[in-house]
């Protein structure tokens, strides 16, 4: 029995050039063999900073075209995070 699974995940975050406070961040989450998820993350209303951002998420079919639309509409790459998520069966 396989008790360990490993998944690669890549998150690309974008923000608008004029959004200096990062009030809205867009994330493209890419996991192999799954549809890309597009997430809109709004600024936290917490007085303690970036604790919990409200999120709105949907799956998208054509990640590259949507990225190009956003990058040509004033959005810029903020950060690219590559992760490996491990799951263990107990």
Mean pLDDT per 10-residue section of the chain, whose length is 90 residues: 88 96 93 92 69 85 95 98 92
Other CB atoms within 10 A of residue 25 CB: 20
Collapse the DSSP code of 88 into the 3-class scheme (helix H, G, I; strand E, B; otherwise coil) and give the result.
Answer: strand
**All domains of the chain, ordered by start, with CATH?**
8-84 (2.40.320.10)
State residue 82's pLDDT score. Answer: 97
CA–CA distance, 19 with 13 (Å, rounded to integer): 13
Collapse the DSSP code of 43 into the 3-class scheme (helix H, G, I; strand E, B; otherwise coil) and give the result.
Answer: coil
Query: Structure pTM?
Result: 0.81
* Burial letters 69-83, b for 16+ CB under 10 A, else e: ebeeeebeeeeeeee
């Amino acid at each position: 029995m396989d008790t360990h699974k490993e998944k690669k995940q890549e998150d690309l975050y974008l923000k608008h050039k004029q959004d200096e406070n990062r009030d809205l961040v867009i994330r493209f989450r890419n996991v192999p063999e799954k549809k890309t998820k597009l997430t809109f993350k709004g600024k936290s209303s917490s007085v303690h900073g970036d604790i919990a951002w409200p999120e709105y998420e949907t799956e998208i079919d054509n990640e590259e075209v949507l990225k190009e639309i956003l990058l040509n509409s004033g959005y810029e790459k903020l950060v690219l995070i590559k992760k490996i998520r491990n799951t263990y069966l107990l």
